[in-house]
């Protein structure tokens, strides 16, 4: 454990074995899980509030949760565990608010083909998650001759009609956040970072980087009052972008779109043509171990569908897994891009709808969930899945350092939660039931 939050801290540095107050590593772990879940939820809640979507019960829970982590308030593992799961419940409400806010503000999502690359002329690149920011920018760039491009988690902007209606929303450029130093250096125009995950910029593009609200990095300029005049002027003064079409991709498999083909999907499962659903997504990152998720996706059988969300999609979407012939509908991509990390809400909606259609519980569905995690929004989403009682989730590539061995053991026993293994193909086969389950030797137990 590591705690330095109060005056009686051990040796004036940190309590690392057991707190001077009596707090042990498991209490500290649960308090950190709660804190990180609340942080992630606050990010989603921030986006929802900007779209006019709030719920007083969310604010009240955030106060309760933060209060429970103050020194000498709560040393009780069962009540902290209950708060951790309550955080998942409240985060579900927050993701629902954000989903409603997106649809009300930007229209009913639809399947959309996206041009990836750049077009000749000046352009602005927008990264992060806040769709209201890109809407404001698109309004202000109307008639200026400046194109707007999405980057990273902004890719789903193209599926909303109130955003795609702007002809100068010209396309998508780049992949997940960890590649931004290379990609932003290549993009000659200004870059607007609306949220995480923003990296501290190198010299080569820091004078072209603009941030908003909570987002800030040394060397970048702050946009105030949603006024993009300076960004637009910078785009007009920069060297124009070249025409370069890298690829086209199909996105827009929002839960409402998938629900519209629920009948054929259920029928395909009943006929044995569709064997399993995989949710493979979350956050991407720089570690080599994240290739696990690409290998996992690549090895899934042809009679299965993969739902993906978050920037983890960039790790798997280059895998050529082909299409699935959905009876009565036609060929659909086997990798269905549902949107941003907050659109994990959509995969929950789909799972619940399927369970209702089959008259079973979510845990009885032919469904495997493999999540790549990086930061605290992923923690909030995981807590939501645990609150719903979803079992058998695998997370990776590395165990969260803030989960103590005992707390992990509780989560394993209660939810069959575990860290991904070292062989993605074997793990996929075990999840599919085509390979017998190995004796439970968790990588977490090896690490600890
Ligand atoms: S709250 Fe407890 S564990 Fe943390 S610094 Fe204070 S005495 Fe140590
Ligand atoms: S999905 Fe996670 S890692 Fe990726 S950009 Fe969003 S917050 Fe960052």
Ligand 2 pocket test target in 193, 374, 378 with most atoms within 8 Å of CB: 374
CA-based radius of gyration for the chain:
22
- Pocket test of ligand 2: the residue of 131, 341, 347, 380 to mutate, having most ligand atoms within 8 Å of its CB, is 341
Mean pLDDT score of the chain, rounded to an integer? 95
Q: pLDDT value at position 236?
A: 98
User: Cα(75) to centroid of ligand 1, in Å?
Assistant: 11
Tens digits of residue pLDDT in 108-127: 999 999 999 999 999 999 99
Which ligand is closest in space to the CA of residue 285? Answer: 2
Q: Which tens digits make up the pLDDT trace of 142-168?
A: 999 999 999 999 999 999 999 999 999
Question: Which residues have CB under 8 Å from 95's CB, separation 6+?
Answer: 44, 342, 344, 345, 348, 381, 384
Residue with the nearest Cα to atom 3 of ligand 1?
19
Ligand 1 geometric centre to CA of 252 (Å): 47
pLDDT band at 447 (very low <50, low <70, confident <90, very high): very low
Residue 324: alpha-carbon gap to chain centroid: 25
* 3-class state of residue 349 by DSSP: helix
What was the pLDDT predicted at 287?
87
- pLDDT of 136 strictly over 70: yes
Structure tokens at 393: 């989730």
Ligand 2 centroid to residue 373 C-alpha, Å: 9
Written as six digits, the tokens of 419 are: 């860290």
pLDDT confidence tier of residue 288, bands split at 50, 70 and 90: confident
The 3-state DSSP class for residue 438 equals: coil
Q: Is 177 in the pocket of ligand 2 (CB under 6 A)?
A: yes
Q: How far apart are CA 425 and CA 217, in angstroms?
A: 40
Where are the alpha helices (H) located in 275-417, listed in sequence order? 291-298, 313-316, 344-358, 376-387, 405-415
pLDDT tens, position by position, 358-389: 999 999 999 999 999 999 999 999 999 999 99
Residue 74 Cα to ligand 2 midpoint, Å, equals 31
| Both tokens assigned to 365 | 């569905």
Residue 68 Cα to ligand 1 middle (Å): 13
- For residue 130 the two structure tokens come to 């806040």
- Nearest ligand 2 atom to the CA of 129 is 6
Percent of the chain with pLDDT strictly greater than 90? 95
Q: Which of 231, 10, 6, 243 is nearest to 116 (CA)?
A: 243
The residue whose C-alpha atom lies closest to atom 2 belonging to ligand 2 is: 283
CA of 45 from ligand 1 middle (Å) equals: 29
* Beta carbons of 370 and 420 less than 8 angstroms apart: yes
Give me the pLDDT at residue 442, please: 52
> What is the 20 CA–ligand 1 centroid distance (Å)?
6
H helix or E strand, kind and range, residue 169: strand 169-172
Q: Which ligand is nearest to the CA of 73?
A: 1
* pLDDT of residue 41 exceeding 60: yes
**What confidence score (pLDDT) does residue 441 get?**
52
- Residue 437's pLDDT is 80
The residue whose C-alpha atom lies closest to atom 3 belonging to ligand 2 is 283
* 375 Cβ inside 6 Å of ligand 2: yes
Pocket test for ligand 1, best of 2, 14, 16, 23 (most atoms within 8 A of CB): 23
| Tally of CB atoms within 10 A around 52 | 11
Q: What is the number of alpha carbons within 13 Å of residue 286 lying toward its C-beta? A: 8
* Ligand nearest to the Cα of 40, by number: 2
Q: In what order do the strands lie in the sheet with 276-282?
A: 335-339, 304-309, 276-282, 367-372, 394-396, 418-419
Cα-Cα-Cα-Cα dihedral sign, residues 193, 195, 196, 199: positive
Supply 164's token pair: 């795609």
Q: Which residue has the higher pLDDT, 446 or 219?
A: 219
Determine if ligand 2 sits within 6 Å of the CB of residue 116: no
- Name the residue of 16, 35, 71 whose CB sits within 8 Å of the most ligand 1 atoms, as the mutation to test its pocket: 71
How many DSSP H helices and E strands does the chain contain?
A: 17, 16
DSSP per residue, 271-310: TTS--EEEEEEE---S-GGGHHHHHHHHTS-TTEEEEEES
């Amino acid at each position: 454990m590591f705690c330095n939050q109060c005056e009686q801290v051990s040796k004036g540095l940190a309590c690392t074995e057991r707190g001077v107050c009596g707090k042990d590593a498991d209490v500290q772990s649960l308090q950190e899980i709660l804190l990180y879940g609340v942080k992630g939820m606050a990010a989603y809640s921030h986006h929802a509030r900007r779209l006019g979507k709030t719920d007083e019960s969310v604010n009240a829970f955030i106060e309760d949760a933060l209060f429970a982590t103050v020194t000498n308030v709560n040393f009780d593992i069962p009540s902290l565990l209950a708060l951790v799961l309550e955080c998942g419940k409240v985060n579900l409400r927050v993701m629902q608010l954000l989903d409603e806010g997106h649809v009300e503000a930007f229209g009913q999502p639809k399947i959309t083909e996206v041009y990836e690359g750049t077009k000749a002329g000046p352009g602005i690149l927008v990264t992060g998650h806040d769709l209201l920011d890109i809407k404001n920018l698109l309004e202000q760039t109307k008639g200026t001759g400046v194109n707007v491009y999405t980057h990273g988690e902004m890719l789903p902007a193209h599926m909303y009609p109130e955003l795609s209606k702007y002809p100068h929303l010209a396309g998508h450029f780049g992949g997940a956040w960890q590649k931004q130093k290379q990609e932003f250096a290549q993009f000659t125009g200004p870059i607007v970072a609306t949220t995480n995950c923003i990296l501290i910029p190198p010299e080569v593009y820091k004078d072209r980087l603009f941030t908003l609200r909570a987002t800030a990095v040394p060397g970048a300029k702050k946009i105030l009052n949603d006024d993009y005049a300076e960004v637009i002027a910078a785009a007009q003064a920069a060297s124009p972008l070249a025409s370069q079409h890298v690829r086209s991709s199909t996105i827009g498999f929002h839960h409402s779109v998938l629900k519209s083909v629920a009948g054929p999907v259920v029928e395909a499962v009943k006929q044995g043509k569709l064997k399993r659903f995989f949710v493979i997504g979350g956050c991407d990152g720089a570690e080599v171990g994240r290739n696990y998720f690409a290998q996992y996706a690549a090895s899934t059988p042809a009679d299965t569908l993969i739902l993906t969300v978050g920037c983890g999609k960039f790790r798997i979407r280059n895998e050529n897994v082909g299409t699935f012939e959905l009876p009565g509908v036609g060929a659909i991509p086997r990798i269905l891009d549902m949107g941003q990390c907050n659109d994990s809400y959509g995969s929950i909606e789909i799972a619940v709808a399927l369970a209702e259609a089959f008259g079973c519980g979510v845990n009885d569905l032919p469904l495997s969930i493999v999540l790549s995690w990086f930061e605290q929004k992923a923690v909030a989403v995981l807590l939501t899945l645990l609150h719903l009682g979803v079992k058998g989730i695998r997370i990776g590539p590395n165990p969260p350092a803030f989960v103590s061995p005992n707390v992990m053991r509780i989560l394993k026993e209660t939810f069959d939660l575990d860290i991904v293994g070292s062989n993605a193909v074997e793990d996929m086969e075990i999840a599919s039931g085509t390979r017998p389950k190995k004796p439970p030797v968790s990588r977490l137990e090896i690490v600890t």
